[in-house]
Structure 1
Amino acid sequence: MFRENINHLQKSLFESTNWMNPRIKAKLDKSWAPIFYKYVFCKIDEKPFSVLYSDTGRPNFPVNIALSLEYIKHLKNYSDDELIENFYFNYLLNYAVGIRVLGELNLAEKTLYDFRARIYRYLVQHPEQEDLIFASFLNLTKNFIKEAGISTEDQRMDSTMFMSNIKKAGRIALAFDILERAVKSVPENLLTPNLKEVLKPEFKTEVIYKAKPSESESKLEQLLNLCLEIKDIIEKAEETKDPDILRILKRFISEQSVFDEQKNKLKAKDNKDIPSDSLQSAYDEDATYRKKGDKAQSGYTLNIAETCSKENPVQFITDYKVAQNIKSDVELGKDRIPIIKENTDCKHLYMDGGYYSPEVIEKAKENGIELHFTNLNGKRPQKNLSVTQFEINETGIITKCPGGIAPTHAGITKSQTVAHFPLNACDTCKHRKDCYCKRQKKDYVVRINLKAIESSKQRQKVEQNQKENTSMRAAIEGTNSALKRGHELDKLKVRGFVKCNMVVGFKVLAHNFKRFANYMIEQSKKLTPQATGISLPILIQ
């Protein structure tokens, strides 16, 4: 049964702070704990989480404490054991979650798991509903922004790839993992002699570790055909220990092999024929493969936006989105721009060339956001004459050429702007060799793709403002790096899209709080007289 936690609002006679040495109490007041209590714990809206609980039964473990502990876990990079130990004996942590008497509330390991499991089940069963973790992130971040007086008009965007808790494995290792999982899912008496061999430790050694490079194709095909064999057994079996394994087997076999009619067995596909969204792990069906630049990775991508106004004393992440890493920056940009506008007062958005597309620009215009690119992908136009040297009105119609000649007639045909010019004007024009014009019997005609016009305008803007745009966007690379190094984003300890999305939400909010707490501590230093003799707090590292 859901019940809000308001016990922390009632003061107790036995609060530890009542008996503290004044100097120790002063250090506590200037630590991160009171900041967390006031601006995170007290601001958590518990009501949306009521959907996780039934209307009857025992009251739930306080949501604001459970959610705060998740944030602190990722703020401090605690394991679950370390988190529970600190909950028992660390007064700073207790103070942060509204507990004033050490040892007042018991916390079992199962309580943490149960809270996460409830959120996970809800997100899986109600994908169309609001993401509880993202909604909490927005609520708390808005409070940070308001308290610190942060402008959200200027923002920057970037994406980075990360791994879930899967190993980097080749096709043979992946085939073995899936085969082993499938074999273990059925009773041993149903297995053929060949499949029973899979359970022996020496089988893995022979297939993976002792295989010569020249044998890799034959070993892979051996595993694929064993997968086919166990698939047939599972299809006939009344039940299995693993309800998902048949679906995984079918997917893996179809992605990795083709059936050889002559030999009557499976044949491995060439590496180039394996799709990028193919299965990457026996235990994570959502992870995908992507090569970005010279870096290849199996897993997911995180797209973030953060404030970047030069007047801001501190910057905060305002939006995040986890997606399969095969999702392009263009798709992420189109998806997130309306959401960023809805949740903030964004007017300028700085991003790299990977986000550029006419569709992204149009989406930004619809939402009143001006985009600033640090560069543009793709080749420059082969013509020396820039499209921007033509005089083109707002509707896309050419009104004058670079030589100052007005067309005899012009208009839009399909996705091109078309203009006709007199023969005598173009024949003697100094730009003719570099121009887009083509000679016809009666005149010269210029045809330019409308997308090329928009691209040229953007390229010109990039060249004119490249230094400033790069300066405004550059620091977001540091934010991604800080998430990976400071909050262990590089490789998560969970698998699957929903769990990764949950954990990333906790980490992003923890990162925002870290910045906010350091800002508040710095502000308090400015107000603290040096003559008091009280030692100043250390920033959160």
Structure 2
Amino acid sequence: MSFTTNESQQLSLEDSFLNLNDRTKKFVLTSWAKGFADVIFPAINEQRFSVLYSDTKASRPNNPVNAVIGSLILKELFNLTDDELLASILCDIRFQYALNTTSFKEQPFSDRTFSRFRERLYLYTVETGVDLLHEEMEAMAEVFVKYLNINPSVKRMDSIMVSSSSKKMSRLEILYSCVQNMIKTVNRTGENQLLKNMEHYLNEEDRNETIYYRKNEEISSRLQQVIADANTLIAKLDDAYFELPEYQLLRRVLLEQTETDSNGNVIPKAKKSITPSSLQNPSDPDATYRSKAGKDNKGYVGNLVETVDENGSIITAYDYAVNSHSDSSFCKETIEKLGLQETKTTLIADGAYTSTENVDLAAENNIELVTTALIGKTPDIIQASFQIDSNKREVIKCPAGNKPYKTSYYEETGLYRASLNKKSCEHCPLREQCGAKLQKKSAYVQITEKVVQRASYLQKLSSEEYRSLSKKRNGVEGLPSVLRRRYHVDNMPVRGLMRSKMWFSLKVGAINVKRVLKRVLMLLISIMKKGEILFFKKQSIFKTVMRLKVA
């Protein structure tokens, strides 16, 4: 299939829309479809996706890429299935107008158009590591920021835990499923001689009998038996089945769930020894485990960065990873993605995103990282007043202004031990806060440069300016709720990191599109209320709206 650009960007003289009666035209031109056609659709860069298709012009041309991307956004916007989306495009003139397909004699979509396009995107990402859809959603967001005239100097960030659609499994279920899947694969090849004494796994009732129908005290013995079967399979199959995903999952689950004791027997690991990145379900091997805010989560995590000011907010950057990925790591990656800013930029997040390394990295890129709190042990603000000469490895002054008579520095830990006159510390009102300890003849205090930095940062957070900035972060906390309630992010009908990220990207795009369309509609209503537009024929009402907006 060859790539061709979509030439149907404007109404033609033979366009079916022009044959509609005036009443129908009016409804379309005052609906969401007009805003989508004039603002959203032109923002889609179809050339970005040319790499998905052949350069051979003699082959059949592709479906219009911008129409397909636009359709997938509308699918999320209106919470439709693929079949419902296709029916809407075929039967609803608003969808056709929004996607600029009213000039087509037949709508350029079939029941497989959308699934095939998603498959192309997935395979390209697997092959190259480049996520074209992610790039496109962020590029469109930048267009929306300019359209809404949002100042890009303030950004806020939050994360959302995304549940996998796969079933939650016990250790026994995970191991049993991996063994059973491998045995079924071997059975399909006809090499049943390799399955001696394990044929019962092919019985439909064996799973329930092994996992659910026996007493709890038998679990350990059943688990040991399944582990023994798994090891037998691995020893028998080896190279012949090595490349199969079922074999790789079986090897993985044995490495993660078992260990060898002093007698050389393979036994189950202690539960505390199993890492969060271990296999949670063979049907979704990318999903990981994480406990956050007292809740257990199995699946993935999304990170959202909003650009915000009084004109509105748009999600201009996002990321998606296994849920063992920390907020602090997301913060570092976001700062690196933003890069060096020409003007001072403020990035607001909660305490989980902060670290001295992230604050320093942000400062290097002309970004001020503002968090609502500090993670880890909170230092006393008074410790920010310690003066340290990092070149001489010496504490110059304590918070009370006293100069230590001796400083020892420990390279391995970065710890300074400052010895002070006992009399100056004994009655000092700051002694309890700075952490000075009294001895028989002297006093000493232990401090690190990192503690001084954290205390200085905490001092900034307590200022009125920083408190007002941290209040702006509250708005981004509504995004996880919107993604769950309106866009059903926890019930995506796909599994795997890359496939679920594709759906997540479209949901993020739909949120941005809805915000733009809402602003466009509000602007249109305000203009019509003023009586500045009474009718429209050739002149697009949206061109008028945009001109008035710029003016």
If the length of structure 2 is used for normalisation, what is the TM-score?
A: 0.87
- Counting only pairs closer than 5 Å after superposition, residues 435-454 of structure 1 correspond to structure 2 as 435-438=434-437, 444-454=443-453
- Counting only pairs closer than 5 Å after superposition, residues 205-224 of structure 1 correspond to structure 2 as 205-224=208-227
Give the Å deviation of 1:281. Answer: 1.5
Question: What residue in structure 1 maps to residue 382 of structure 2?
Answer: 386
Q: Which has the higher contact order (CA 8 A, sep 6+)?
A: 1
> How large is the RMSD of aligned CA atoms in angstroms?
3.0
Question: What residue in structure 1 maps to residue 313 of structure 2?
Answer: 315
> Aligned pair 1:78/2:80, yes or no?
yes
- Counting only pairs closer than 5 Å after superposition, residues 77-476 of structure 1 correspond to structure 2 as 77-101=79-103, 104-127=106-129, 129=130, 131-187=131-187, 189-190=192-193, 192=195, 194-235=197-238, 238=240, 243-259=244-260, 266-309=266-309, 311-312=310-311, 314-341=312-339, 347-381=345-379, 386-390=382-386, 398-408=395-405, 414=411, 415-416=414-415, 419-432=418-431, 434-438=433-437, 444-465=443-464, 467-476=467-476
Give the letter for the 1:401 counterpart.
C
Give the letter for the 2:451 counterpart.
A
Alpha-carbon distance change, 514 to 194 in structure 1, aligned in 2, over 3 angstroms: farther
Give the letter for the 1:216 counterpart.
I
- Is the 1:152–1:346 Cα contact (8 Å) retained in structure 2? no
Separation in 2, partners of 1:457, 1:116: 49
Give the letter for the 1:350 counterpart.
I
- Is the 2:153–2:344 Cα contact (8 Å) retained in structure 1? yes
The SS at the match of 1:308 is strand
Give the Å deviation of 1:325. Answer: 0.8
The SS at the match of 2:186 is coil
Separation in 2, partners of 1:276, 1:369: 33
Separation in 1, partners of 2:43, 2:73: 13
Separation in 2, partners of 1:183, 1:422: 76
> Aligned pair 1:63/2:65, yes or no?
yes
Deviates more, 1:443-452 or 1:25-34: 443-452
Separation in 2, partners of 1:420, 1:179: 64
- Is the 1:374–1:469 Cα contact (8 Å) retained in structure 2? no
Deviates more, 1:291-300 or 1:70-79: 70-79
Separation in 1, partners of 2:342, 2:524: 27
Deviates more, 1:203-212 or 1:343-352: 343-352
Q: Deviations for 1:71-130, whole angstroms, at most 9, x for unmatched residues?
A: 122222211111222222122111121111576224223332221111111111112x4x
Question: What residue in structure 1 maps to residue 539 of structure 2?
Answer: none
Give the letter for the 2:251 counterpart.
K
- Is the 1:397–1:411 Cα contact (8 Å) retained in structure 2? yes
Deviates more, 1:109-118 or 1:281-290: 109-118
- Is the 2:2–2:55 Cα contact (8 Å) retained in structure 1? yes
Give the Å deviation of 1:41. Answer: 2.1
Separation in 2, partners of 1:345, 1:428: 48
Separation in 2, partners of 1:385, 1:495: 47
Separation in 2, partners of 1:483, 1:385: 38
Alpha-carbon distance change, 45 to 202 in structure 1, aligned in 2, over 3 angstroms: same
Percent identity between matched residues is: 31
Give the Å deviation of 1:418. Answer: 5.7
Give the letter for the 1:134 counterpart.
H
Alpha-carbon distance change, 195 to 76 in structure 1, aligned in 2, over 3 angstroms: farther
Deviates more, 1:59-68 or 1:323-332: 59-68
Give the Å deviation of 1:184. Answer: 1.6
- Structure 1: give runs of 5+ residues left out of the alignment: 535-541
The SS at the match of 1:7 is coil
Separation in 2, partners of 1:435, 1:149: 48
Q: Deviations for 1:345-372, whole angstroms, at most 9, x for unmatched residues?
A: 6711111111121111111111111121
Separation in 1, partners of 2:514, 2:341: 21
Separation in 2, partners of 1:94, 1:146: 26
Give the letter for the 2:332 counterpart.
K
The SS at the match of 1:471 is helix
Give the letter for the 2:398 counterpart.
C
- Is the 2:3–2:54 Cα contact (8 Å) retained in structure 1? no
- Structure 2: give runs of 5+ residues left out of the alignment: 536-551
Give the Å deviation of 1:511. Answer: 0.9
The SS at the match of 1:278 is coil
Alpha-carbon distance change, 472 to 110 in structure 1, aligned in 2, over 3 angstroms: same
Aligned residues: 526
The SS at the match of 1:316 is strand
- Is the 2:417–2:446 Cα contact (8 Å) retained in structure 1? yes
Separation in 1, partners of 2:442, 2:409: 18
Alpha-carbon distance change, 31 to 417 in structure 1, aligned in 2, over 3 angstroms: farther
Give the letter for the 1:202 counterpart.
E
The SS at the match of 1:99 is coil
If the length of structure 1 is used for normalisation, what is the TM-score?
A: 0.88
